[in-house]
Amino acid sequence: MKKVIIDCDPGHDDAIALLLAAKSDTIEIIGVTTVAGNSELYNTTRNARKILDYAGYEAIDVYAGCDRPMMRDLFRLTGAIIHGADGLGGPNIPAPTTPIKEEHAVDYLIQTLRNSDDRIILIVTGPMTNIAVALQKAPDIKDKIDRIIMMGGAVIEPGNITSAAEFNVFVDPEAAKIVINSGCELYLVSLDVSMKAVFKEDDIEKLRSQGDKISTTVASLLDFFAETHVKHFGFKACPIHDALCVGILIDESLVEFRKTYVDVPLHDPLTLGETVADLWEITGNMPNCHIAMKVNREKFVRMICEHMKK
Ligand code: RIB
Ligand code: CA
């Protein structure tokens, strides 16, 4: 079993990532940490608890983390437009019944990594604030991190917040820069593949036709997500960005990666939060990141459908 901690900001695609990991026979979620991003921390934490309780995973603990980026105010312009006022718009999923853990997510990450006999995989599907703060507070935890699989960035594709920047990196660029330069084994699942890892209308209908509780609820979540994408981006398809980070743990052939040097500019408003990859290897810097190059969309859609009905 692959032991993972999922750090997230649910968010529709985060919620599907949580369900995919929980339903996988090869992944053990040892804990979930939440961060402000798609919505305020209260909402992202409540949504993580809500989706896990709804799917019967009350035993997976949820820890609330940082309620804002390391150096900036929380970027609030688009979260509600894409994910709804409470961060998980669409079907009426009952309120959570399981309490949120008292310990701060950063302290939970540090203590769990330090005390674990095994190295742990961190799946990060929101702004990287919690991970960056944990690494700054306790650099020793790097030795217990097997790899970090992060949804973020855009290398060849344009950004989805500015022409240069993807949302998760843009919200907390300092945190992304710290993590990318941390020396941890990093897999960057960027818009270059996640904008191709989409559920189209017929895929949503196939999911709905499965008829079980989770499949029909996820189909309703995607109905909402598709509508907001039409309004905001002009296309009716759902990029399930975050679930791709889990998918590559279930089937590594899902995405092809290339190792290269990546860094994040912080000072020019035009390029703030960009993930610049040294594809022509002119910097002389050692590669620090596996960047995603290709994705098998059909295999991904099949994987999500098969797991949701489990
Ligand atoms: O840019 C896409 C990312 O931003 C996804 O993680 C989505 O959930 C939002 O957090
Ligand atoms: Ca997310």
- The domains of the chain are located at 2-308
The pLDDT > 70 percentage for the chain reads 100
User: Is residue 86 pLDDT above 80, yes or no?
Assistant: yes
Q: Whose CA is nearest to atom 10 of ligand 1?
A: 126
Ligand 1 pocket check: which of 168, 170, 224 to mutate, most ligand atoms within 8 Å of Cβ? 168
Statement: residue 236 has pLDDT above 80: no
> Which carries the bigger pLDDT value, residue 236 or residue 60?
60
Q: Is 307 a catalytic residue?
A: no
pLDDT band at 233 (very low <50, low <70, confident <90, very high): confident
Q: Ligand 1 within 6 A of 38 CB?
A: yes
Give me ligand 2 centre to Cα 125, in Å: 4
Task: Give the pLDDT confidence of 179-215 residue by residue, as tens digits.
Answer: 999 999 999 999 999 999 999 999 999 999 999 999 9
CA of 115 to the centre of ligand 1 (A): 30
Ligand 1 lined by 87 (C-beta under 6 Å):
no
| Position 232 pLDDT exceeds 90 | no
| Average pLDDT of the residues in 144-166 | 97
Query: Residues 224-229: what's their mean pLDDT?
Result: 93
Q: Which pLDDT does position 78 carry in this prediction?
A: 84
pLDDT band at 234, cuts 50/70/90? confident
> What per-residue confidence (pLDDT) applies to 59?
98
Percent of the chain exceeding pLDDT 90 equals 95
Give distance in angstroms: CA of 274 to centre of ligand 1. Answer: 15
Cα–Cα nearest to 13, from 230, 174, 195: 195
Q: Is the CB of 160 under 6 A from ligand 1?
A: yes
User: What spacing in Å lies between the alpha carbon of 168 and ligand 1's midpoint?
Assistant: 6
What number of other Cβ atoms are within 10 A of residue 132's Cβ?
Answer: 24
What would the pLDDT profile of 37-85 be if each residue is shown by its tens digit? Answer: 999 999 999 999 999 999 999 999 999 999 999 999 999 888 889 999 9
Q: Is the CB of 167 under 6 A from ligand 1?
A: yes
Nearest Cα neighbor of 7 from 33, 30, 27, 29 is: 33
Which residue is catalytic, options 229, 241, 290, 307? 241
Backbone phi and psi for residue 308, each to the nearest 5 degrees, phi listed first: -65, -30
Would you call 275 exposed, middle or buried from its count of C-beta atoms within 10 A (0-12, 13-18, 19+)? buried
**CA distances (Å), origin 87, targets 33, 157, 247:** 16, 25, 23
Q: Which atom of ligand 1 is nearest to the CA of 127?
A: 10
| CATH number of the domain located at residue range(s) 2-308 in this protein | 3.90.245.10
pTM reported for the whole predicted model: 0.98
Question: Do residues 48 and 12 touch, judged by C-beta distance below 8 A?
Answer: no
Q: Which ligand is nearest to the CA of 83?
A: 1
